[in-house]
């Protein structure tokens, strides 16, 4: 069962008494207090974020943990790191595929810069992945020669 949340609205006792001074003029401080007296307050509930955001944060944490604690073997550790980065890119693609994200990115000028940065990141990831595959190939050929 959900708890109930109370809402409150503040109103002045009498706008005519609080808005004029004893001489009948309306000083600046009285005008400011009148405007503040009509301010409506309510208890707002926090909105839930999309589940994809939690998924994305989990993948970011996994990549950061991998980067902070380097593995013992370089080839296997690099492959594990690439798998984590690949999963992070997949979660990011899921987030960018949402209609809300597409609408927000299409309306702002910063959306183009953000998408360009993501393309550069994906390109760098692809280049890094190719280098790791080449490193594995060289390492396996050296192991066969020995």
Q: How many domains does the chain have?
A: 2
Instruction: Decide: 129 and 82 in contact? Cβ < 8 Å.
Output: yes
108 and 72 within one domain: yes
Query: 26 lies in which domain range?
Result: 8-44
Is pLDDT of 17 > 50? no
Do 40 and 61 fall within a single domain? no
Indicate whether 57 and 38 sit together in one domain: no
1 part of a folded domain: no
Q: Give the mean model confidence (pLDDT) for residues 121-134.
A: 84
Q: Looking at the structure, tell me whether residues 28 and 67 fall in a common domain.
A: no
Give the whole-number percent of the chain exceeding pLDDT 70. 67
Residue 2 lies in a domain: no
Q: Residues 88, 19: one domain?
A: no
| Between 53 and 75, residue with greater pLDDT | 53
**CA angle centred on 54, ends 100 and 103, rounded to 5°:** 10
Token pair, residue 37, equals 């007296």
For residues 40 and 62, membership in a common domain is answered with no
Whether pTM exceeds 0.75: no
Q: Same structural domain for residues 61 and 37?
A: no
Judge if 94 and 40 occupy the same domain: no
Is 3 inside a domain boundary? no
Residues 60 and 36 in one domain: no
Cα–Cα distance, 7 to 48 (Å, whole number): 20
Lowest mean pLDDT among 5-9, 53-57, 115-119: 5-9
Q: 19 with 88, same domain?
A: no
Dump pLDDT digits (tens) for 76-120.
Answer: 777 888 889 889 989 988 988 888 888 877 777 777 888 788 888
């Amino acid at each position: 069962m959900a708890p109930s949340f109370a809402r409150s609205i503040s109103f002045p006792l009498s706008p005519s008494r609080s808005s004029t001074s004893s001489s009948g003029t309306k000083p600046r401080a009285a005008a400011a207090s009148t405007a503040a007296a009509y301010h409506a307050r309510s208890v707002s509930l926090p909105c839930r974020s999309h589940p994809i955001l939690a998924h994305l944060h989990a993948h970011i944490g996994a990549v950061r943990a991998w980067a902070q604690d380097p593995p013992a073997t370089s080839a296997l550790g690099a492959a594990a790191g690439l798998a984590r980065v690949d999963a992070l890119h997949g979660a990011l693609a899921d987030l960018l595929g949402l209609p809300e994200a597409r609408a927000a990115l299409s309306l702002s000028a910063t959306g183009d810069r953000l998408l360009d940065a993501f393309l550069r990141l994906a390109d760098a990831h692809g280049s890094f992945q190719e280098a790791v595959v080449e490193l594995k190939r060289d390492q396996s050929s050296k192991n066969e020669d020995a």
